[in-house]
Structure formats: C-alpha cells, structure tokens
Structure 1
Amino acid sequence: MSKKNNFMQFIKYTLIGGINVLIDFGILNILWIITGIYKGYINYLFKFISFIAYSTNGYFMNKKFTFKSNNNSYFKYISVLAVTAILNAFILSNLSMHNFFNFKPIIWSNISALIASISTGIISFLINKIFVFK
C-alpha cells in the first residue's frame, strides 16, 4: 500500500476516532455529573460503559470507511480495543487522582481522559492496521 493510502487511512481512522472520543467523553461526563465522582478507580467502570458504545460504533465505521474490509474481524477488533480500553482506564484513573494544576475536578478528568485517549488511539491504529483489518 502506498504512503498516500496509508496516510488517508490514518486520517479516516483519526476522524472516526474523534467521533468515538465524543461518544466516550459524552458518556463519561454524564456518569461523572450524575454520580459526582470524578477521580479514582470508578473510572474503570465508567470506561467500560463508554467502551461498549464507542467500540461498536468504531468497528462498523472503520470496517466500512477506513479499511474497507469484508472479513469478519469483530472479535479481533474488540480484543484490541479491550486491551487499549484497560490501558486507557489505567491512565485516566491514575491521572485523575493527581490534579497537578488544581483544575476543577470535571476539567481535570476531561484532560486526563484526553491524554489517555490520544495515547491509546495511536497504539490501536497501528495494531488494527497490521493485525485486524489487514
């Protein structure tokens, strides 16, 4: 595959990832606001709930638009996302407990979630491109 095609795949993956981040952050913020809990290990549960929504959306959009794959790779995709979601929840949970700049808890939780999403998003693109949607 050419460098141009690889770059276009990355752009599409990033755009779909952006939609998934909106889904993820929307669900996380609803849960944070409803419970009033913004930091700590509860984020593993909150991340699991948001994971179900954004991973399903991401699979179908990436399969159709990014990688244009006809194979049934849902289990592989979910496996990759599950591992990266656990890593994401780990980063989010740990960062959220250390509000270095003394931001409001909801702001710091969103910053922590963004850092976690960017970190794991790059990793998941590479794994999906090489192993899942080859």
Structure 2
Amino acid sequence: MEENSKLKAIIQFITYSLVGSSNVIIDLIVLNILWTVTGLTVGRINFLFKLISFCIYSTSGYLLNKKFTFKTESKSSSYFGYVSLLGILSFLDAVIIANLTRHNIFHIHRFFWANISAFLAAMLTGILGFIINKFVIFNKED
C-alpha cells in the first residue's frame, strides 16, 4: 500500500469516526428521551427504541459519509446499501444493548448502565461498519 493510500485510509477512518460520533450522539439523545419518557430501559423494548433512533440518524449519516468521508458521486444503490448495512448494525446494537442491560453485573444505576451498553454497542458495530462501507458500499476506483 502506498504512503498516500495509507494516509487517505487514516483520514477516512477519522472522518467516519466523527460522523459516527455524531450518529451516536443523536442515538443516545433519542434513546435517553425514550427511556425517560417511558421509564423503560431493560430488555426487548430497546429494539423498538433503536428502530426509532435509526430512522432519525441514518439519513444524515449517509449524506455526511458520502460527501466528506468517501467523497463519492450520487449512486442510488449506495444509499440502499448504506441504509441496509446501518439497519443490520442497528439491529446488532439493539441485541447487544438488550443483552447488556439485562446483565448489569456492576449494579450501576439503570440509566447509566443503559448508556454504557449503548456506547459499547456503538463502538463494536462502528468498526465493522467502517470496514464494510469502505470496501463495499462506497468502494470506488481511485
């Protein structure tokens, strides 16, 4: 791999991380609003809450990654691919959150533990998302 390609990949990862961080912030805000309003933080309800959150942050994440991270031209298939991948990753997030919130081994306050669970899930799926987006969804010839 050329030095220029390595630098480009590092810059893409940093930019992707920044966009992902904004998505995580939106996700956490929405989840915390839903947890607070309903009083529900544990278990399967998080599947519904993640779906609601997903609907809110997915389009902005796509547009930011398309324009700033991967700098690709308009392709309708990339939107479908991105949203499909994000949907799968969001479902995986919900599975991780649902399982972690059931097993609060440190006996931390439930809202704090729910946030830690959401953050850990986002970190794990974020790395996987970058790899798939870079090499599959937004793959273009340089």
Letter in 1 for 2:138: F
Which residue of structure 1 aligns with residue 50 of structure 2?
47
Residue identity in the other structure for 1:45:
L
Paired amino acid for 2:84: S
Identity %: 51
Within 5 A, what are the aligned runs for 1:115-134? Answer: 115-134=120-139
Q: Which runs of 5+ in 2 are unaligned?
A: none
Deviation at 1:71, TM superposition (A): 3.4
How many pairs align? Answer: 134
Q: Distance in 2 between matches of 1:96 and 1:70?
A: 40
Larger gyration radius, structure 1 or structure 2: 2
Q: TM-score, structure 2 length as denominator? A: 0.92
Q: What is the match of residue 25 of structure 1?
A: 28
Aligned-partner SS, 1:40: coil
Q: CA deviation at 1:53?
A: 1.2
**Where does structure 1 lack aligned partners over 5 or more consecutive residues?**
none
RMSD of aligned Cα (Å): 0.8
Give the TM-score normalised by structure 1: 0.98
How far off its partner does 1:50 sit? Answer: 0.4
Query: Is it true that 1:107 corresponds to 2:75 in the alignment?
Result: no
Is residue 2:19 matched to residue 1:16?
Answer: yes
- Stretches of 4+ aligned residues off by more than 3 angstroms: none
